[in-house]
Amino acid sequence: MTLPILPGHGRYAYSAISRRPDYSWPGGKRLAVYIALNLEHYAFSEGLREELVPGGAEPDVLNYSWRDYGNRVGAWRLLALFEELKLPVTLLLNSAIYNHCPELVAAFRARGDEVASHGRTNSERQDTLGEAAERALIEAVTQRIAEHEGKRPLGWLGPWIAESLRTPDLLQEAGYGYVLDWCADDQPIWLQTRAGRLLAVPYPQELNDSSTIIGRRASASEFADMIIAQFDEMLAQSHSQPLAMGIALHPYIIGQPFRLRELRRALAHIAAAREAVWITTAGAIAEASAKAIG
C-alpha cells in the first residue's frame, strides 16, 4: 500500500546543515549573536494576554500590571545593562508602544538599535484574519514604525508567532526582507513566496525567557546557564559552518531584578568573547547572509 504524502508548507526544502556551502560573517567571524528584545503592549480587559498567573478573569489587573512592569521598569534596567556591556539589540516592537510609552523606544533609538515589527499589539493574532485584513495590518504597522523611526522596518515577528497560510507572501509583497517566525535552523534560510523570496532568520524558542522561564518553569540561573552553554557549544560548532544564535527577552520577565542579575552573568560571558564572534542585530545577519548565500 502506498502511503499518502503528508501536506507540506512549500516554503523551503530539506537541507542538512552539514552539507551546505561554507561562508563567514563579516570580519571572518563564524558565529553571529543577536539579542531580540520584545517591547509589547496589551489592551486592558480585552483581547489576548500573557497569563503569568493563569485563570484570572477580566479585568485581569494582576497580569496586566505585571506585564506593564516591563515597560515601566524592566526595559530601562535592560537598557542600562546593554549600555554597560556595549551590546546592540533588535527591538521587536508592537507599534502600540508608540501610544503607550514612546520615550522607551526613543531611548533605544538614541543608541542606534534596530527596530523590527512585532505587529500592533500582542492582544491580537494575525492568523485569524482574512487576506485583506492581514495585509492592512502589516501596512499599518509598517507605516507607524516608519513615521517614528524615519525608515521602514525590514524584519517581522508575528505576535504569538502566529502566521496565516499567506503571511510570508504578504510580508514579501510589503517589502520585508526577513521574518523571525520560523525556528527551523541555525542559519538564515530562504522561504519561497508567491512573488519571490523572504529570508527566515533563526529566532529562539529555547533561549527565550517566555517559553523557558514562564512555560517550562526554569529558574533564572538555569536560563543563564542555558545561554552560556548554547554560546560555548555553538562557537565550537561554528568552526564547521557559520551559525546564528539569538536570545529572546521580554522585559516583564527577565527585567525582574533577580533574573536580571543572572542575565548579566550570561551576557557578560558573551561580551568577553566579542573578539571571536560577531555581536550584531537580526537585520545585519539577514543582510550579510542574503549576500553570502545568494
- At residue 31, φ and ψ (nearest 5 deg) are -120, 125
pTM: 0.96
pLDDT 10s digits, 183-238: 999 999 999 999 999 999 999 999 999 999 999 999 999 999 999 999 999 999 99
Angle at CA of residue 30, ends 29 and 31, nearest 5°: 100
Strand 196-200 versus strand 189-193 pairing type: antiparallel
Q: Cβ distance 262 to 221 under 8 Å?
A: yes
**Parallel/antiparallel/unpaired status of strands 90-93 and 114-117:** parallel
What's the pLDDT at 281? 98
Are the beta carbons of 62 and 144 closer than 8 angstroms?
Answer: no
Q: What is the pLDDT of residue 2?
A: 81
The segment with the largest mean pLDDT, out of 3-7, 64-68, 103-107, is 103-107
pLDDT of residue 160: 95
288: nearest Cα among 28, 16, 88: 28
pLDDT of residue 177: 98
pLDDT of residue 287: 98
Apex CA 123: angle with CA 120 and CA 127, to 5°? 75
Please report, rounded to a whole number, the percentage of residues in the chain having pLDDT higher than 70.
100
What is the spatial distance between Cα 210 and Cα 140, in angstroms, rounded to a whole number? 27
Domains of the chain with bracketed CATH = 24-293 (3.20.20.370)
Q: Rounded to the nearest 10 degrees, what angle do helices 131-149 and 102-109 cross at?
A: 60
pLDDT of 49 > 90? The answer is no
Contacts of 38 (CB under 8 A, 6+ apart): 92, 118, 157, 210, 248, 249, 250, 251
How far from 109 is each of 10, 70, 247, 257, CA to CA, in Å? 37, 18, 20, 24
**Among 36-50, 106-120, 144-158, 251-265, which stretch is predicted with the lowest mean pLDDT?**
36-50
